[in-house]
Amino acid sequence: MIPARFDYHRPGDIAAALAILGEHGDEARVIAGGHSLIPMMKLRMTDLAHLVDLQDIAELRDIAVEGGTVRLGAMVTQHDLIASAELAQAAPLVREAALQIADPQVRYCGTVGGNVANGDPGNDMPGLMQCLGATFHLVGPGGERTVAARDYYEAAYMTAREDDEILTAITFAVPSGGYAYEKQKRKIGDYATAACAALVTMEGGRCTQASIAMTNLSDVPVWSEAAVQALVGTGCEADAIGAAVEAARADIDPTEDNRGPVDFKRHVAGVMIRRAIERAVSRA
Amino acid sequence: MGKQHYQITVNGEARDVLAEPRELLIHTLREQLSITGPHIGCETSHCGACTVDIDGRSVKSCTVFIAQAAGREITTVEGLGTPDAMHPLQEAFREHHGLQCGYCTPGMITRAYRLLQENPSPTEEEVRFGIAGNLCRCTGYQNIVKAILAAAAEMNAAKEAAE
Ligand SMILES: Cc1cc2nc3c(=O)[nH]c(=O)nc-3n(C[C@H](O)[C@H](O)[C@H](O)COP(=O)(O)OP(=O)(O)OC[C@H]3O[C@@H](n4cnc5c(N)ncnc54)[C@H](O)[C@@H]3O)c2cc1C
Ligand code: FES
Ligand code: FES
């Protein structure tokens, strides 16, 4: 399993990285933790002539919680997310999801930026970031622009990012209320058969706010507005949750693969969505 | 890009290797440096037999290019102890039959080493979660978990005695 030849670059700052991307166009690709990219390169499913390693760019490594906003640098690893006490306090949903990704070794390498930029429907962080209503910060030759996580994904491996842009950070408002990330996988180190992120805020026994997003149940992550509408204003009783599960299930479009046929995935999705909402409500 | 000189530190020793950037770290270690503790089990990032420690992180060396590892400090199972002066983890794996064929063992021990650095007194469940990236086809894991818990107790006792 030897990948094809490439030239390797390790720039020390974002400007230098952008210059290399600008020079080589779509022949160049950034590498973060490499734990999605290297397996693809070994299979020779990804062809590139220049690899731009972001590991030495210190400004991409920070986790900051300030003024009600969480900012995650793109090179923050899943291990860093799990280890951060500040983040566990501000957004325990992120830690709960990160703990369900891959295995310890992969989590020391895999970055939050690589996970959301990759565009693989199996990645867990895109759905998570849609649930949180996060914003992605992209820097290119023309400066910085932002794209909402809910608008970022176009199709499998197709995103709003241009070839000459680097995703530098993710920001989101500190979430309130109860949370849960529920994921069904065949074994440790497998991607989800179905997964669901849920946030639910209750005030005086009524749901005032909710957010429901799903992973690996379509060629893009799915944020379900209909599921939110089914919950808001109710007391989150069994029939309201049942209606939300059905609404969320109506928004997915799973395909058959080695994790099972479509009917099975729809069934597992229903179980994951229900568990996620129920647990979020119990914590709200 | 042809071959380049890369500097890495392996088990405390500075090494200079000549390699193409695409060379995987596991191949550099095994084929260029004859450090054959880390094994190749799957070569697809799943089994953990190739686990080494890079700057305080357990990493699957089949999923790292030598170019990425340049400048880093790498520890393999050879760096933890020697046959005459075994690391408490190595001793505990022998004592508790934590291995049968031994193929997964260097990766297991290297991973367990980092786990105990981060969490010196893990519960059984934390040990199982912490070694979930390492597959063993022989032992059924029971004795591996026992060995790691025993090593943790031993290392904690030694630390206390030293204080
Ligand atoms: C055995 C195994 C199991 C796994 N299981 C899971 C799982 O259950 N859930 C899950 O979500 N993931 C899983 N992963 C994937 C893992 O989390 C990846 O590491 C992660 O998806 C990608 O992060 P990375 O830093 O490794 O990115 P890389 O592999 O370095 O990059 C991935 C892609 O994103 C691009 N990219 C990376 N960073 C940036 C950036 N800052 N700006 C622009 N583009 C960028 C790269 O060019 C590349 O195309 C698994 C991986 C392995 C090997
Ligand atoms: S050989 Fe590296 S994980 Fe199996
Ligand atoms: S002892 Fe044989 S694979 Fe673990």
ipTM, 2 dp:
0.97
Helix (H, G, I), strand (E, B) or coil at A149: helix
**Domain end residue (candidates: B47, B79, B111):** B79
Residues B29 and B92 in one domain: no
Domain extent, residue B139, equals 88-162
Nearest CA in chain B to A103: B133
Asked if B67 lies within 8 A of A35 by C-beta distance, the reply is: no
Does B65 lie in the same domain as B16?
yes
Query: Could you tell me whether strands B73-75 and B4-10 are parallel, antiparallel, or unpaired per DSSP bridges?
Result: parallel
- Nearest of A264, A201, A271 to residue A242 by alpha carbon: A271
Domain boundary among B48, B79, B110: B79
Q: What is the CATH number of the domain that holds B128?
A: 1.10.150.120
Contacts A–B by Cβ distance under 8 A:
79
User: Per-residue pLDDT tens for A216-269?
Assistant: 999 999 999 999 999 999 999 999 999 999 999 999 999 999 999 999 999 999
In order along its 163 residues, chain B shows pLDDT tens digits of 899 999 999 999 999 999 999 999 999 999 999 999 999 999 999 999 999 999 999 999 999 999 999 999 999 999 999 999 999 999 999 999 999 999 999 999 999 999 999 999 999 999 999 999 999 999 999 999 999 999 999 999 999 999 8
Q: Which of B22, B31, B141 to mutate to test the interface with A (most CBs of A within 10 A)?
A: B22
Q: Which of B1, B46, B133 sits opposite A6 (nearest CB)?
A: B1
Q: How far does the CA of residue A109 sit from the closest CA of chain B (Å)? A: 7
Distances (CA, A) of A179 to A74, A160, A201, A265, B44: 23, 28, 9, 23, 34
Query: Of B79, B108, B124, which residue constitutes the final position of a domain?
Result: B79
Cα of A100 to nearest chain B Cα, Å:
11
In this prediction, residue A81 has a pLDDT band, given cuts at 50, 70 and 90, of very high
- Flag whether residue B22 sits within 8 Å of chain A, measured between CB atoms: yes
- With the C-alpha atoms ordered B116, B122, B126, B127, is the resulting torsion angle positive or negative? positive
Q: In this structure, are B61 and B96 located in the same domain?
A: no
Looking at chain A, the domain(s) classified CATH 3.30.465.10 span 58-172
pTM of the model: 0.97
Kindly give the residue spans of alpha helices, DSSP state H, lying in B41-119: 66-69, 88-95, 105-118
List B residues 42-61 in contact with A (Cβ-Cβ < 8 A): 43-46, 48, 51, 57-60
Instruction: Tell me which architecture the domain covering A7-53 has in CATH.
Output: 2-Layer Sandwich (3.30)
Fold of A179-283: Enolase-like; domain 1 (3.30.390)
Q: Within 10 Å of residue A263's Cβ, how many Cβ atoms?
A: 10
- pLDDT at residue B1 in the model: 80
What pLDDT sits at residue B148?
98
With CA atoms as reference, report the closest residue to B79 among B67, B89, B65.
B89
Torsion from C-alpha of B143, B56, A112, A258, nearest 10 degrees: -30
Residue A2 has pLDDT above 90, yes or no: no
Which pLDDT value is given to residue B55?
Answer: 98
> In this structure, are B102 and B64 located in the same domain?
no
Residue A181, pLDDT above cutoff 90: yes
Domain count, chain B: 2
Q: Rounded CA gap, A123 and A115, in Å?
A: 6
Looking at the structure, tell me whether residues B100 and B75 fall in a common domain.
no
B46 and B102 in a single domain? The answer is no
Name the phi and psi angles at A135, rounded to 5: -120, 135
pLDDT surpassing 90 at residue A47: no
Residue range(s) in chain A whose domain bears CATH number 3.30.390.50: 179-283
What is the mean pLDDT of the segment spanning A50-60?
98
Q: Does domain A58-172 have CATH number 3.30.465.10?
A: yes
Give the three-class secondary structure for B2: coil
Distances (CA, A) of A229 to A212, A233, A278, B3, B78: 10, 8, 16, 59, 59
How does the average pLDDT of chain A come out, rounded? Answer: 97
Residue of A15, A35, A13, A24 lying closest to A163 (CA atoms): A24
Report CB contact under 8 Å: A5, B1. yes
Question: Å from B84 to nearest chain A CA?
Answer: 29
- The residues of chain A that CATH labels 3.30.43.10 are 7-53
| Same domain, residue pair B92 and B123 | yes
